[in-house]
Amino acid sequence: MEKIISDILNSLFAPEVVNKLLFPTTLLAIFVLALIAYVVCRRLIMPLILNLTKRTHTDWDDDLLTQKVLSAGSQLAPALLFSAILPKTFTDGSSLQTWITKATELYILIAIINLLNQVLQAFFDALDKRNSGKVHTLRGVLQMLKLFFIIIGVIIGISILIGKSPLAIIAALGASAAVLMLIFQDTILGLVAGVQLTVNEMLKKGDWIVVPKANANGEVIEISLTTVKVRNWDNSVTTVPPYTLIKESFQNFSPMQDSGGRRISRSIYIDFNSIRFLSDQEITELRDKQYLTGIVFNENDVKTANIELLSRHLEYYLSHNSDVNKEMMVMVRQLQPTPQGLPLELYFFSSDTQWKNYEHIQSRIFDYVYAVVKDFHLSIYQAPSGNDFKHLTPADVK
């Protein structure tokens, strides 16, 4: 190329002028060729590839060969052409040529790093669109790989500028590793914690978590290399460092939601003064009200306590309630007696794990429990209030 341009300049200018114009003119010609290569890639090849990906039956090529990825590839093409033509055109080894070569190599390096990062981002977006990104904490891994490529690029870029091997630069950085670890302490801790959260599948986007020490209670909306963002139920956002989740304990409700049942464990306190044996007539009344359906009496029992019949009825009621998950534990049991009465605990799992529906199910079931207790001639303990003392008569005091 230099000979062709020299012949053209010799036909137009004097030899002393040609010597001054030859290098910049040749350099400009190479630059124009590189620019043409970029325009061809951007205006011709890139639209052609995008059109071909749209015609295929699979969606992966559409997601990976995005406009940003192809644009990054187009930026690499002119630099490669420039780098290939320059050494063959100029062989004098001048200092200007050396710096132009180094600048070209740096541009190629930056273009390659940008292309790799765009490919990683397209791959992450493709997984996230297919909900596969929710299986693992991929955003932290994505940022880790991007940071790794950038660090490698910086090391290679420095080696290009100073003309030394990248291994020598890495060895020099090793001597200052303590200082670097102090500067990038949060990043390194976040990186390690992000890998642990990913490998152990401890956390993913969309999980409902509770972190007591960070006052976080809500849905995970973003997981990055150095932060985990939680949208609390009051719509505030709490930012938690990933290493805090590893160092301290946190509660994840996602397995509960995936299991199809959310636990309800609540007790009512029965007044001891109302616990007694029922007469045959009272048992007949309960049977007429369908409260003893499914309850088998022991013929050896002479008397039956009302608390026993209530427990067995409630257990039968829960076992046949459509809002209760029948595949999980259903139990009604007595707990240790307290000064406030006898705790009768209902232990079961709701069939709907959504918070609002869960609360409604719990309310409906205990509405029934509160209403049915009096039919078994029992009463729920309630501490006397000021209004109760107000209506006391002297006879009551005696």
The torsion angles phi and psi of 221, rounded to 5 degrees, stand at -105, -15
Q: Which two tokens stand for residue 243?
A: 């290493």
Low-confidence winner among 77-81, 102-106, 116-120, 265-269 (lowest mean pLDDT): 77-81
Q: What is the spatial distance between Cα 305 and Cα 372, in angstroms, rounded to a whole number?
A: 16
Distance CA(388)–CA(250), nearest Å, equals: 44
Q: Which two tokens stand for residue 46?
A: 């890139």
Domain boundaries, the chain: 2-186, 199-256, 260-376
Domain 260-376, CATH: 3.30.70
pLDDT, tens digit, 9 for 90 and up, residues 279-294:
989 999 999 999 998 8
Strand segments (E) across the chain = 208-211, 216-223, 228-232, 237-240, 251-252, 262-270, 277-278, 304-305, 331-334, 342-350
Task: Give the model's pLDDT for residue 138.
Answer: 60
Q: Which residue has the tokens 């049991």?
A: 333
Listed residue (191, 205, 229) closest to 133, CA to CA: 205
User: Among residues 292, 335, 329, 326, which one has the least CA distance to residue 312?
Assistant: 292
Strands 251-252 and 237-240: unpaired
Per the model's pLDDT, the better-predicted residue between 310 and 247 turns out to be 310
Cα–Cα distance for residue pair 365/259, rounded to 1 Å: 21
Residue 68: CB partners within 8 Å, gap ≥ 6?
118, 121, 122
Closest CA to 193 of 147, 252, 247: 247
Q: Reduce the secondary structure of 281-327 to three states and give it as a string.
A: HHHHHHHHCCCCCCCCCCCCCCCEEHHHHHHHHHHHHHHCCCCECCC
Q: What is the pLDDT of residue 276?
A: 93
CA atoms 43, 46, 48, 51: torsion sign: negative
For 54-113, how does the pLDDT look when each residue is reduced to its tens digit (9 = 90+)? 777 777 777 778 878 888 888 777 777 777 776 655 555 566 667 777 887 888 888 888
Please, which pLDDT band fits residue 264 given cuts at 50, 70 and 90?
very high
CA distance linking residue 317 with residue 305, whole number of Å: 19
Burial level of 42, CB count in 10 A (0-12/13-18/19+)? middle
Whether the pLDDT of residue 16 is over 90: the answer is no
Kindly state the tokens that stand for 321.
Answer: 């309630």
- The pLDDT score that the predictor gives to residue 373 is 95
- The mean per-residue pLDDT over the stretch 237-249 comes to 84
SS3 at position 200:
coil
Mean pLDDT, residues 29-48 taken together: 79
How many Å apart are CA 164 and CA 173, to the nearest integer? 14
pLDDT confidence of residue 51: 81
Give residue 252's pLDDT: 87
| pLDDT at residue 20 tops 80 | no
Task: Evaluate whether the domain defined by 199-256 bears CATH number 2.70.50.60.
Answer: no
The overall pTM is greater than 0.75: no
**Mean pLDDT score, 351-368:** 92
Instruction: Please state, in angstroms and rounded to a whole number, the distance separating the CA atoms of residues 118 and 75.
Output: 12
pLDDT, residue 21, reads 58
| Cβ pair 325, 351 in contact under 8 A | yes
Q: Which residue bears the tokens 């995936």?
A: 258
Return the higher-pLDDT residue of 120 and 89. Answer: 120
Average pLDDT over residues 180-203: 70
In 3D space, the residue among 198, 188, 239 whose CA is nearest the CA of residue 216 turns out to be: 239
The pLDDT, as a whole number, for residue 136 is: 47
Task: Quote the pLDDT of residue 31.
Answer: 75
pLDDT at 38 over 60: yes
Q: Are 310 and 378 in contact (CB under 8 A)?
A: yes
Helix axes 67-89, 46-55, angle to 10 degrees: 140
Single-letter amino acid, residue 195 = V
Yes or no: say if 153 and 113 are a contact pair by the CB < 8 Å rule. Answer: yes
Supply the mean pLDDT for the chain.
79
Backbone angles phi, psi at 262, to 5 degrees: -115, 130
Q: What is the mean pLDDT of residues 316-329?
A: 92
pLDDT at 135: 44
Give the number of other Cβ atoms within 10 Å of residue 106's Cβ.
16
